[in-house]
Each structure stands twice: as structure tokens, then as C-alpha cells.
Structure 1
Amino acid sequence: MSLVVYAAASVLGLSAVLLFSRPRAALRNPLTASTCAAVGLGAICFFLSAPVTLKAVNDFTGIPNFGAPLTYSMISAYSCSLIILLIHWRGGSRAYRRSMVVRAVATYGSLIVAIITLFTVADARTERLSDLDTYYANTPYMREMIALYLLGHGTCLLVMGFLCVRWAREVTGLLRTGLRLIIAGVVLDGIGFEVAKAVAVAARWTGHDLDFLSTNVAPPVVSVGALVTSLGFMIPRLLPSAVTHWRSLSDLRNLTPLWRELQSVTTAPKPTPSWWQLPQARLHWLEASIHDALLALAPHFDDQVRQISLDTALGNGNSPHEARVIAEAAMLADAARHAAVPKDHHIKEPSTYRLQATAAPGASGLVELAQALGQSPVVTAAREGSVKATHDPTH
């Protein structure tokens, strides 16, 4: 069982790190902060509930079963954090959200105090690492402690389920997908944890033995439920950013031919981006470097090379748009070739042409230019100097 819950804890912990990748920005945004808190507390709950961890906590404190109230208190705190997250996610006035958060904290704070108090006065000297709920189901004060933490978590699930079902009818897109995942996670958590634990404990109250529901069924099902719920919270927040970084990574690869063509051009030095920076940041650096290099290369642009290449591309059956991109790429390749030996390069009339690729939004225009540089035979001819232009007869 430890392996299952440790795996769930690791996934949730990694999710919390991704959400909290920018601490200052996260703390300024209540929604981001509460999401990080909920996912992080979920990871802590799973970590603490593993029998190996429970044994280590008990040995460290010297108190048999001390890990139980610690875990139950964290489950209650996790339940509270989920409700607070829904409060911020749902929105409303700042005063309303603050009032609801205070109520949730007061309710679950009182529950945590009650759990600790009941454990303190209970007689739980026999250490139980995997079946404490059922073993102590009929023990005074331990019985009430177990019932309280189950009641607190069950109430959280009911509130979440009700709010998410009602809210999912009002929204669309990723938010609706996230809410449906949360609902699925709540159902798994409710059936696999709450119902299984409650039935097993109630069976002990009536003199029956259904301990397997608590020890064998609940841990894996609640692990899956927590992961699904966390996905529901994270997808609407992380997926758009992940898609952006994936596209940035694709653009970085596609811009390689263009950057290779321009690397010999003298530009103002810039700090190289660190290897650990996200693709979007690296793409911004590369775009800025390319634009600077293109500005430095502009005096070497030859309109005749561009016009000859345009006519050739049109003659080869390219569309007007494709031909224009190929012509710009050919002019760029020719300019880069001559910029490498500027003292031998003479143009009668400097070009005033502005590359349309630099006017396109984002990196799309530059990507088209890079693809033409790497694929078009017209560009290859310009790079090799076989396009006749206004250069002096020595070329």
C-alpha cells in the first residue's frame, strides 16, 4: 500500500511544484495560491498515510499511533483547502469570498482541534499501521475521532459535488472539462474512501468484519480519485500554458535554419538564455536576436535578387504568398553571404524593402522564412551566388 500512496503523493507534489513555479506571482493570486495549497496538502496526506511513514512518525515521537491524528488532521486541512479553492474559483466579491474562507477555516480548524483532543484522551496503545480505523472502531474517543474525520471529509465531498455539478451546467470549454474531472474524482473518493471506510467501521459496530474495505479497497481508489480531482483543478490552469510552451518548442526547432543563416551577422551581444528556461522564454530571446540580426543585415538587401527569385518561384508554380516568402528568403541568404565579406559588397541603391515576415504576429512569419531557407532551391541558388543582381562584376 505504501507504494501506491507514495506514487500518488509524488504526482501531486510535482503538480504543486509546477503550479508554484513563480512564488511571488502565485502568492499574489488567491486562486493560484489556493490551488497550490490544495494540491500540496493532498500530496502530504498521501505521504503521511503510508504505513512506512506512519511507523516512522510513531517511532520518532515515541507515541503509538501518533501518525493517525496527524494524518486525519491533514485530511481535514486538505478538505478545507478544497472548499477554499472552490470559493476562489467560483468568484464573487472580495468580501464574500473572505467571509466564506473564514467560515471554512473556523469549521475545519475546530474539527482538527477535536480530532487531536479525542486522540489525547483515548486509549490507543496498540500500534496499528493499516487497519487503525476498524481496529479502534469500538474504542471510546477513538471511535468519535474516526467518525469526525470521516464526517468532515464527507461533507467536503458533498459540497464540492453539488457546486461542481451546478457550475458545470453554466460553463464551457476547459473549465467544464475540469469540473467534470473533479466530479469524477469526488465520486471515486466518495465511494472508494468514504463509503468503504464508513461501511467497514459500521460493520465493526454491529459485530461484523468488513475490514478489507478499509485496508484493501480504500487506499488505491482514493489515490486515483485524488489524482483525477487534481487534474480537474489543474487542466484549466496549466493546459493553455502547456500548449503555448509546446508551440514555442516547435517554433524553436523550426527557426533553426533562419538562426543558422544569421549567426554570422554582427549584432549587439545578448545574454544567452539558460538551459532551464521554459520554451516560451527561449523563443522570445531567439525572436529578439533574429530581429536584431535582420536589422543589421538590411543594408545588404538587394531588391533585384528578391525580384528575380520571386519571378522564378512563381514560374515554378508557387502561390503568390509562397513565392513572396521564398523571394524574401533568397534575398536574405544573398545578403548574409555578402555580409560575411562586406568590403567586397557594393549595391548601387540600398533597398528600403521591409521583410513582411517580421510584420506577421508572433513567430509565424519567421517560421515561414526559416522553412523557405531550408527547403527552396531558389534560396539555395541565391546562397551560392548564382542569382544575377546589382553587385559589382567581381561577383
Structure 2
Amino acid sequence: MSLVVYLAAFVFGMTSVLLFRRPRTAAPPDPLTLSTCAAIVLGALVFVCAAPATLAAVNSLTGVPNFGAPLTYGMLSAYSCAVLVLLINWRGGSRERVRRMVLRSVAAYGLLVAAIVVLFALAEADTERLTDLDTYYATTPFMREMILLYLVGHSAAMLVMCVVCVKWGREVGGLLRTGLRLILLGALLDVVGFQLTKYTAVVARWSGHDLDFLSTTVAPPMAALAALLWSAGFALPRLLPSVRAQWRGLGDYRRLGPLWSLVGPVPTAPKPQAAWWQLPRARLQWREVSIHDALLALAPYFDHRVRERVRDSALRAGRSPHQARLAAEAAMLADAARRAAAHEEPPESAGTYRLHATEVSGTGGLVELAQALPRPPAAGGGGAPPPPTGTVTEPEEPHVA
């Protein structure tokens, strides 16, 4: 059981790291990010504290039997408070209203934690119980009230979460609605799979029956699954757009490969190489800047006669003006790279010219240029030799990204 609980805590912790990760130069995290990370971290700590191995270690270190119980219940109450604070920040509103509601939530659950500690101190719980404390002490004075109190506090937070998700889900759409549905599913699973089973097992003890398996076997995995669902619901709207952007960046980075292979050897001002561990967007930015510098260095070698011949041939072949321009610029760029690599003198027809890729923002223009470059002959022979200098072949159909 401890291993499963620790794995749930690890997943919680990694989710918090992903949400909180940001560049060093970025602005301080906003209250929503802070409250999200705080709730997830506290949820991870709840699982760590509730693991039987942790409970045994805490009891042994303090010398107090069952000292891990108020620690776990207090942490669970703090987690419930963090969930409410997160909902308040996510819902938004005026700064004064948000601040007032946050302070009220913190005050209420602060009193709850204090009551849990006082009730445990007043109770007689000398027999250590690592997995069935709720049911074993369900009829013990003060322990009975402490157990009921932490359950009621957690139930209140989960029910508020359900109400907010249902109400707000009618007003939003897209990823936010998907996230709210995951949060609602997790909250309902917590209410039914964890709280209801705990209540049932405790009440059964009050009436002299034994349904301890609901509290010891059913409730813990249901709580872990519920918490993972709602944490995914909070993280999804914030992480998925970034993941999509990184995926698109990786695709553009690969599509720029042919263009980078062509202009990469061109000497330019030295730039720090992108590290292998950097995310695709950072690597794409480095490649984009390097290609633009190389295009600038190759500009004196642009032969406009090559460009005009290929453009006219493409137009006669029925290509659109945009496709003809891309094919012509790709042929001119390939010729310029060959001249620069051979240390030839710039052509007489060289002059100022702006490539389409340098006129548009983003990487779209560079990707189009890369896909329009002439394809090298297939390996293994059979391909036609490259044309001699000064002649232009019929351009291939450019592949527009």
C-alpha cells in the first residue's frame, strides 16, 4: 500500500514542477499558479503522510503512538483549504473580494486543524494503528470527534468544488470545460469512493458492525485516483497549450532541416549552440536565428538571372505566382550556397533582394523555403547529375507547409 501511495505523491509532485517551471527572466508566478502548485504539493504531502511506512516512522521518531494521525488529518485539512483557495483564484473577481474569501477559508480551516490537534491531545489512543485508525477508534471519546471533524472538513471542500465546476462548466468551453469535467469527476469520485466509504465504515462501528474493509481497502485507492483526476483537470488547460506549441516547434525544427543543411556551413557571427536538453521551441528559435544570419551572409551571391529563369519556367508550367516565387528563390539560394562554398566571386547580377521568408513573421516562410529546395538525387545511382553552372532545370513542385 505504501508503494502505491508514494507513486501517487510522486505524480503530484511532478505535476507541480511542470506547472511552476518558467524562465528565470519571467515575471513572478501569478496567484493562480501559486495556489495550483500549493494544492498539488499539499495533496502529495497528504499521500506521503498517510502511507503506513511514513506513519510508523513518525510515531517512532516522536515516541507518541498514532502521532501520524493528527499530522495526516491536519495536512488533509490544509489540502482541502488549498483546494478552496485555488477555486477562488481560478474563479477570479475583484482583488478585495478574492482576498476576503481566501482569508475566510484559511481562518476556517486553521481553526479546524487546531481542533484536530486539541482533540487528539485529549483522547486516549495508546494502541498504534497504521491502516485502520478511523474504524478502530471510531467509538473512542475525542478520537471519534476528531475523525468526524476531518471528514466533514474535507467533504465541504469537495462539495464546493463540485458545485463550482457544474456552475462554471455551463459558462466556458474548450480546454477549460474539459478541465472542469475532469475536476468534477475527481471530486465526485472522492466524495463517493473515499468519503462515503469512510463514513459508512465509521457509522457501522457505531452500530456494532464491521465494515472496516471499506475504510482500509476501498477508500485509499479511490482517494488517489480522485486526486490524480482533479489535478489533471487543473493542469490540462495550463499545460496542453504549451505542449501543443512545443510539438509544433518540433515539427518546424525538423522541416527546416533541408534549409539548415544548405546554409549551415555559411560563416556567420558566432552564437551559443542550443543545448541538447532544451525544449523544441528554444532549439527552433536558435535554428531560425542562425538561418536568417546565413541568408544575410549569402545575399551578395544571389544571382537574379537564376531566380528569373526558374520563376518564368514555373509560371509557364502553370504554378501559382507564390509557388513560382518560392521555387525561384530556392533555386537562387542553392546556387548562392554553392558559390559561397566554392569561394567564387559574387555574380554580376547580384543586388539587393528580400526573400519571401524574410518578409513574413514566424517560421512559416522559412519552412516554405525549406520545402521548396531542390531534392538531392536518390542514393544508389540512377539520378541525373546536377546541371552545369548557368543552366536551370524545370523546378519541382514546391511543397508548401
Normalization by structure 1: what TM-score?
A: 0.92
Give the match's secondary structure for 1:266: coil
Q: Deviations over 1:45-80 (max 9, x none)?
A: 112211122122222222221111111111111111
How big is the shift at 1:40? Answer: 1.2
| Counterpart residue type for residue 288 of structure 1 | V
How big is the shift at 1:150? Answer: 0.4
Counterpart in the other structure of 1:393: none
Does 2:83 match 1:82?
yes
Once residues 27 and 121 of structure 1 are traced to their aligned partners in structure 2, the CA distance between those partners, rounded to angstroms, is: 44
Does 2:13 match 1:13?
yes
How big is the shift at 1:140? Answer: 1.1
Once residues 9 and 105 of structure 2 are traced to their aligned partners in structure 1, the CA distance between those partners, rounded to angstroms, is: 24
Could you say if the C-alpha distance between residues 374 and 235 of structure 1 is closer, same or farther in structure 2, counting changes exceeding 3 Å? farther
Q: Which runs of 5+ in 1 are unaligned?
A: 391-395
C-alpha contact (below 8 Å) 2:310/2:331 kept by paired residues: yes
Once residues 303 and 207 of structure 1 are traced to their aligned partners in structure 2, the CA distance between those partners, rounded to angstroms, is: 95
Does 2:385 match 1:388?
no
Counterpart in the other structure of 1:38: 39
| Counterpart residue type for residue 367 of structure 2 | V
C-alpha contact (below 8 Å) 2:49/2:72 kept by paired residues: yes
Root-mean-square deviation over aligned CA pairs: 2.2
How big is the shift at 1:152? Answer: 0.5
Counterpart in the other structure of 2:161: 160
Superposition pairs for residues 137-286 of structure 1, below 5 Å? 137-286=138-287
Q: Deviations over 1:160-198 (max 9, x none)?
A: 111111111111111111111111111001001110101
| Counterpart residue type for residue 350 of structure 1 | A
| Counterpart residue type for residue 388 of structure 1 | G
C-alpha contact (below 8 Å) 1:310/1:327 kept by paired residues: yes
Give the match's secondary structure for 1:375: coil
Counterpart in the other structure of 2:380: none
Superposition pairs for residues 265-344 of structure 1, below 5 Å? 265-314=266-315, 318-342=319-343, 344=344
How big is the shift at 1:320? Answer: 3.8
Deviates more, 1:219-228 or 1:325-334: 325-334
How big is the shift at 1:112? Answer: 0.8
Once residues 356 and 128 of structure 1 are traced to their aligned partners in structure 2, the CA distance between those partners, rounded to angstroms, is: 73
Could you say if the C-alpha distance between residues 231 and 326 of structure 1 is closer, same or farther in structure 2, counting changes exceeding 3 Å? same
Once residues 386 and 132 of structure 1 are traced to their aligned partners in structure 2, the CA distance between those partners, rounded to angstroms, is: 87
Could you say if the C-alpha distance between residues 5 and 310 of structure 1 is closer, same or farther in structure 2, counting changes exceeding 3 Å? same
More helix per residue = 1
Could you say if the C-alpha distance between residues 189 and 274 of structure 1 is closer, same or farther in structure 2, counting changes exceeding 3 Å? same
Q: Which runs of 5+ in 2 are unaligned?
A: 378-382, 393-401
C-alpha contact (below 8 Å) 1:325/1:357 kept by paired residues: no
Give the match's secondary structure for 2:373: helix
How big is the shift at 1:90? Answer: 0.5
C-alpha contact (below 8 Å) 1:27/1:33 kept by paired residues: no
Once residues 374 and 213 of structure 2 are traced to their aligned partners in structure 1, the CA distance between those partners, rounded to angstroms, is: 64
C-alpha contact (below 8 Å) 1:47/1:53 kept by paired residues: yes
C-alpha contact (below 8 Å) 2:339/2:345 kept by paired residues: yes
Counterpart in the other structure of 2:352: 352
Once residues 328 and 305 of structure 2 are traced to their aligned partners in structure 1, the CA distance between those partners, rounded to angstroms, is: 10
Once residues 109 and 314 of structure 1 are traced to their aligned partners in structure 2, the CA distance between those partners, rounded to angstroms, is: 76
Q: Deviations over 1:222-275 (max 9, x none)?
A: 111111101110111111111101111111111122112111111111111222
Counterpart in the other structure of 2:398: none
Could you say if the C-alpha distance between residues 318 and 47 of structure 1 is closer, same or farther in structure 2, counting changes exceeding 3 Å? farther
Does 2:61 match 1:60?
yes
Does 2:365 match 1:365?
yes
Q: Deviations over 1:325-352 (max 9, x none)?
A: 222111111111111233x223113232
C-alpha contact (below 8 Å) 1:76/1:111 kept by paired residues: yes
| Counterpart residue type for residue 323 of structure 2 | E
Could you say if the C-alpha distance between residues 206 and 27 of structure 1 is closer, same or farther in structure 2, counting changes exceeding 3 Å? farther
C-alpha contact (below 8 Å) 2:304/2:349 kept by paired residues: no
Could you say if the C-alpha distance between residues 306 and 276 of structure 1 is closer, same or farther in structure 2, counting changes exceeding 3 Å? same
C-alpha contact (below 8 Å) 2:13/2:41 kept by paired residues: yes
C-alpha contact (below 8 Å) 1:182/1:233 kept by paired residues: yes
Could you say if the C-alpha distance between residues 3 and 315 of structure 1 is closer, same or farther in structure 2, counting changes exceeding 3 Å? farther
Give the match's secondary structure for 1:133: helix
